Amino acid sequence: MARYIFITGGVVSSLGKGLMAASLGALLQARGYKVRIRKFDPYLNVDPGTMSPYQHGEVYVTDDGAETDLDLGHYERFTGVSARQADNITSGRVYRDIIAKERRGDYLGATVQVIPHVTDAIKEFALADQDDLDFILCEIGGTVGDIESLPFMEAIRQLRNELEPDQTVSVHVTLVPYVAAAGELKTKPTQHSVRELASLGIKPDVLLCRCEHELPEGERRKIAQFCNVRPESVIPALDAPSIYSVPQQYHQQGLDAEVLRAFGIKDAPQPDLSSWEDVTDRYFNPEGEVTIAVVGKYVGLPDAYKSLNEALVHGGLANRVKVNIKWIDAEIFEKDPAEIAAELEPMHGILVPGGFGERGSEGKIASVSFARERKVPFFGICLGMQMACIEAARASGIQAASSTEFGETREPVVGIITEWMSEDGLQQREAGGDLGGTMRLGAYDATLLEGSKVFDVYGTCAIDERHRHRYEVDIKYKEKLENAGLTFSGMSPDGRLPEIVELNNHPWYIGVQFHPELKSKPFEPHPLFKDFIRAAKDVSRLV
């Protein structure tokens, strides 16, 4: 049976628990263990699919079509293990299932309560799908002391009792703040946080202490003494120069060794960190740099495009260049068209990412025109591909070309899909139905055209990529768009849904209906990002 590592956070939010979980998972994996990482989110949304990216950052989509927390992206990128629906649970989903059961009468007249019904559902989720895993890491969202997370803490407390004593370990992530006026690191918040956790019946085995300065030995001992752990189990976690350095840094501080010791595992193999060493070597020693404009909507919050940001960096790692990203709000191009050339001329590549809604769409279309006319490498992703098709249609004379997402139009080059085939058969929806969980979601196959640019890039005809969208480019416009120079180089296997378009007579112009950024990994950069950055690197060498 798998061993469990429960990861909680204290003092403040945003301590990087997700990255910590991903790094610990990667370290255990580097020692040859099979791991999987899960996220428990205490909020009441059924999933983050309907949340604004401004509030919650990007929605990470899994192969099996779940809309999940962005931390699952970290987990997948760091461990290479494909995240799935069963790896993310929210209070909303637990309650939805329990209430549905109650309405069906499944509880046979019992009073339905947080304990045991909600806690049992959480435990069931934690214990499900163990496959032949060695470790399951469970990260609990939020901060100890939140009302919302209490049922999750209680479920962990029970599990720690019910499983074997050497089968669970609790890792608590805290903050040791530096008070500049006193010139000291303060351990009190950590002491309070551990006390809070202990009052819920959970005694941490390992403390990961985020701090801005070296943790002096004396402070480490003090934390150990007050928090009832060994001094070696107080792991200092200083800010890392890059997220890619985190696994190695935590390893040097002894995190994985302490966790294994807490399980009583004495014969663990040494970790093979060579792939992380290669990644950090590439990251810190680039041989050039490129600047890519990302013309989107949620540019104020980098987390809103987390995977995209990472995938661009991965493309840089593959080409040994540093990738600078210039985040541009598409709306500024609408307010002042002179900004288009001013902003985009210095760029080595232009990317229009996924997005929702009409706001900024004309600015995005103008960026596509610029990239097409000036022959700057262009990458359109999801909404970005749709904008590229509208741009091409307009350039070929269909002035009214638009998307029905933006309102009624005479020329719906992009329109809603109400029916499509998936592995589970025909999927159908109503145009005005629910917003949550009703998009074309998850991995779908596409067939690539032999001899096309993307065929070259992928090196195969058969690919599958993750989707998250409601609208599609309408193949009724295929011929007209082909006359405008576009090639439909990737189609759904039934030939009905355009998956990829590319422009002939252009150094690099590719639009994809899916989200390739979700599958890119630092040690396995996505081929499209790798080749896009290569094309941008070629441009940077010309200037």
| Residues taking part in catalysis | 382, 515, 517
**Binding of residue 382 to ligand GLN (CB under 6 A):** yes
**Binding of residue 295 to ligand GLN (CB under 6 A):** no
Q: Which of 153, 308, 383, 512 binds ligand GLN (CB under 6 A)?
A: 383
Quickly count: other Cβ atoms within 10 Å of residue 264's Cβ: 10
**Binding of residue 355 to ligand GLN (CB under 6 A):** yes
Beta strands in 396-526 (DSSP E): 401-403, 411-416, 419-422, 425-428, 440-448, 462-469, 471-473, 486-491, 498-503, 509-512
Q: Which of 47, 405, 502, 531 binds ligand GLN (CB under 6 A)?
A: 405
Would you say 471 or 488 has its CB closer to ligand GLN?
471
CB of 215 to ligand GLN, least distance (A): 43
Would you say 15 or 368 has its CB closer to ligand GLN?
368
CB of 521 to ligand GLN, least distance (A): 21
Q: Which of 210, 220, 453, 468 binds ligand GLN (CB under 6 A)?
A: 468
**Binding of residue 470 to ligand GLN (CB under 6 A):** yes
Stretch that binds ligand GLN, among 48-56, 249-257, 305-313, 351-359 (CB under 6 A): 351-359
Binding mask 107-126 for ligand GLN (x = CB under 6 A): --------------------
Quickly count: other Cβ atoms within 10 Å of residue 134's Cβ: 17
Under the phi-then-psi rule, with left for phi > 0, alpha for psi from -120 to 50, and beta for the rest, what region is 454? alpha
Would you say 24 or 383 has its CB closer to ligand GLN?
383
**Which of 477, 426, 465, 7 is closest to 208 using CA atoms?**
7
Q: 17-30 and 71-79 are packed helices; what angle lies between their axes, rounded to 10 degrees?
A: 20
User: Position 450: which residue type?
Assistant: E
Tokens, residue 509: 């112009």
The answer to whether the CB of 54 falls within 8 A of the CB of 298 is yes
Would you say 6 or 471 has its CB closer to ligand GLN?
471
User: Helix, strand or coil for residue 363?
Assistant: helix
CB of 189 to ligand GLN, least distance (A): 40
**Binding of residue 354 to ligand GLN (CB under 6 A):** yes
Torsion 384-386-387-393 (CA) sign = positive
Applying the rule CB under 6 A, the residues between 262 and 291 that interact with ligand GLN are none
| Residue with the CB atom nearest ligand GLN in the bound state | 354
Number of residues lying near ligand GLN (CB under 6 A): 10
**Binding of residue 516 to ligand GLN (CB under 6 A):** no
**Binding of residue 465 to ligand GLN (CB under 6 A):** no
CB of 386 to ligand GLN, least distance (A): 6
User: Helix, strand or coil for residue 160?
Assistant: helix
Q: DSSP per residue over 502-542, as a string?
A: EESSSSSEEEESS-GGGG-BTTB--HHHHHHHHHHHHHHHH
The answer to whether the CB of 406 falls within 8 A of the CB of 380 is no
Q: Which DSSP helix (H) or strand (E) runs through 90?
A: strand 88-90
Would you say 40 or 379 has its CB closer to ligand GLN?
379
**Binding of residue 59 to ligand GLN (CB under 6 A):** no
φ, ψ of residue 209 in degrees (nearest 5):
-105, 110
CB of 232 to ligand GLN, least distance (A): 46
Q: DSSP per residue over 218-248, as a string?
A: HHHHHHHHHHTS-GGGEEEEEPPSSGGGHHH
CB of 95 to ligand GLN, least distance (A): 28
Stretch that binds ligand GLN, among 178-186, 293-301, 467-475, 476-484 (CB under 6 A): 467-475
**Binding of residue 356 to ligand GLN (CB under 6 A):** yes
256 contact partners, CB below 8 Å, separation of at least 6: 24, 27, 28, 31, 250, 271
User: Rounded to an integer, what distance in angstroms lies between the CA atom of residue 177 and that of residue 51?
Assistant: 31
**Binding of residue 379 to ligand GLN (CB under 6 A):** no
Would you say 349 or 355 has its CB closer to ligand GLN?
355
Contacts with ligand GLN, residue ranges (CB under 6 A): 354-356, 382-383, 405, 468-471
